[in-house]
Structure 1
Amino acid sequence: MPNHTGTAPGIPVLVLNGPNLNLLGLREPAVYGKDTLADVEELCRSAARTHGLRADCRQSNHEGGLIDAVHEARTAHRGIVINPAGYSHTSVALRDALAAVELPVVEVHLSNIHRREAFRHHSYVSAVADTVICGAGAHGYAVALDHLAQLVKETR
């Protein structure tokens, strides 16, 4: 239910998904699971509500769109859960944006990136994330939000 400002109640947090995650449920379900992005977003909203948070879920296939969302989070959100997907392994710019906003960050991956191809073993984002959760499938987002709730409380 919206509050008097027209937004849902709760402390706002950003849940940001990177490239190709709009294809969840279709793309390599043996690796990424059968849940769709809509399923993951609903899971995030539900997990956030249990902690008095409001999940603002976004996805972009474009590096600049992700960076713009991170910059906006600096003043609009209290923390970030991010699945940078393929940009984990390539984007120094996304890493720098996350470092610059000085918010709690939880990095999440559906698959265990350390059990996959060697190029996936390194994440630039991990160096600036407070926590990294990988290999738990869609449930990893709920774990990420549980932990982000704790980090947000610690930074009040």
Structure 2
Amino acid sequence: MTSILILNGPNLNLLGTRQPEVYGHTTLADIEAACHAHAKGAGITVSCAQSNHEGVLVDEIHAAKGCHDGIILNAGAYTHTSVALRDAIASVEVPTIELHLSNIHAREAFRHVSHIAPVAIGQICGFGAQGYLLALDAMVAHLQGAR
């Protein structure tokens, strides 16, 4: 059965209370529950993880090789700073979709640069919590096309 890792980076544990005008009122637990339900309907499995620590995220990406068919990564601010996450994605060769709740291209200039995008199969941003379900559908379509 197809398995997808949904990996969330720093501060996403605060969703629902952190800058709701930017990130909405949906909590990370709500998003994870929606992803599990959506995955069940699509006949796939998902595993969810979140960390505020870059090294833990790198470890999760490394562990995905041979375990998961794809990764959906909301690296938060690490998107714009972490060469380590970029290198981890490139090293494991597990298809990865970069995801953001807000439209990073309509925000501060420093958010327009992504170290993840060059090693991702695509980027979804600006659709709030719905973006996770869009990313799941996109990953399934990518994996079906890759087979």
TM-score (norm: length of structure 1): 0.91
Q: Deviations over 1:76-107 (max 9, x none)?
A: 10000010000000000100101111111111
Shift of 1:11: 1.9
TM superposition outliers: structure 1 runs of 4+ over 4 Å: none
The amino acid that maps onto 2:124 is I
Where in structure 1 are there 5+ consecutive unaligned residues? 1-9
Contact 1:48 1:55 in 2 (8 A): yes
Task: State the superposition RMSD in angstroms.
Answer: 0.9
Shift of 1:52: 1.6
Matching residue of 2:34: 43
2:118 matches 1:141: no
The CA distance in 1 between the partners of 2:88 and 2:44, in whole Å, is: 23
The CA distance in 1 between the partners of 2:93 and 2:42, in whole Å, is: 21
Contact 1:47 1:146 in 2 (8 A): no
Q: 1:92 aligns with which of 64, 74, 83?
A: 83
The CA distance in 2 between the partners of 1:37 and 1:11, in whole Å, is: 23
Q: 2:98 aligns with which of 107, 111, 128?
A: 107
The CA distance in 1 between the partners of 2:85 and 2:130, in whole Å, is: 24
SS of the aligned residue for 2:65 comes to helix
The amino acid that maps onto 1:51 is A
The CA distance in 2 between the partners of 1:100 and 1:49, in whole Å, is: 29
Shift of 1:155: 2.7
The amino acid that maps onto 1:119 is F
SS of the aligned residue for 2:46 comes to strand
Where in structure 2 are there 5+ consecutive unaligned residues? none
Q: Deviations over 1:29-49 (max 9, x none)?
A: 000010000001011112222
The CA distance in 2 between the partners of 1:134 and 1:102, in whole Å, is: 22
The CA distance in 2 between the partners of 1:98 and 1:47, in whole Å, is: 25
Shift of 1:14: 0.3
The CA distance in 2 between the partners of 1:155 and 1:46, in whole Å, is: 24
How many equivalent pairs are there? 147
TM-score (norm: length of structure 2): 0.97
